[in-house]
Amino acid sequence: MNAVHKTRASHARLISDALGGGRWLRGYIQGKVLSDPLFNEGLNALEGVEGPLLDLGCGLGLFGFWINVHGLRIDYKGCDLGGWKIAAGNKAAEELGYSMKLYEVNLLDFPLENAGVICAFDILHYLSVDQQEAMIHQLASAARSGSLVLIRNGVRGCGWRSGMTLLEEWWTRATGWIQGGSINFPRLGHLIEVFEEEGCIVEAKPLWGKTPFSSYWLKISWRR
């Protein structure tokens, strides 16, 4: 194992140990931050960007821990409806001295005003068609106001990858990791079209790494 991999592994252990839980949860956390390309892609996107950062549907706040463990002291606020995840994340952040605060709030009710960065990672498909459209337009409005909007989501129309992504969503519900919600994956072309019609600059690319999922990355900013 080279030095970079050793460092990443030590970061993952630090986060999983701080969040606690049983052996399965610690293994999940370490595997997630080490194998999901979202974490490093998001970290790179924040270079030179000021906060606060709002993470919609943050879960345990793993992205907040990842940027903090890499020395990026940006004010981080996350929201999620998983009460135990919020409690565990806040406790770990306090113990580590990180500038993080998680709230047990529906992402549809989380205020987006005055955000430097808004992260919407793997949450759009939990919204109904109407809610999803409203959220996309809210994110576009935030971009017009100067926020950098970062989206990662599974999309329809990617063949077997879209099927595997749907299977994963069924699994998260069967295990209780996610409590209910819609399964309404957007089309990539529609997302790009809406944001561009709103005057935003959209950078889009696949971000599935070595996973079998239909994940795409969108970096959205205002056309200045």
Mean per-residue pLDDT over the chain, rounded? 90
* Element of type H or E holding 21: none
Task: Specify the pLDDT at position 161.
Answer: 81
Place of tokens 């795409």: 216
pLDDT tens digit string along 53-87?
A: 999 999 999 999 999 999 998 999 999 998 999 99
Which three-class secondary structure state does DSSP give residue 122?
A: coil
For the question of whether the overall pTM of this predicted structure is more than 0.75, the answer is yes
Delineate the domains of the chain, giving CATH numbers in brackets.
36-222 (3.40.50.150)
For 115-155, the pLDDT digits (tens) are 999 999 999 999 999 999 999 999 999 999 999 999 999 99
- Point out which residues pair with 222 in neighbouring strands: 200
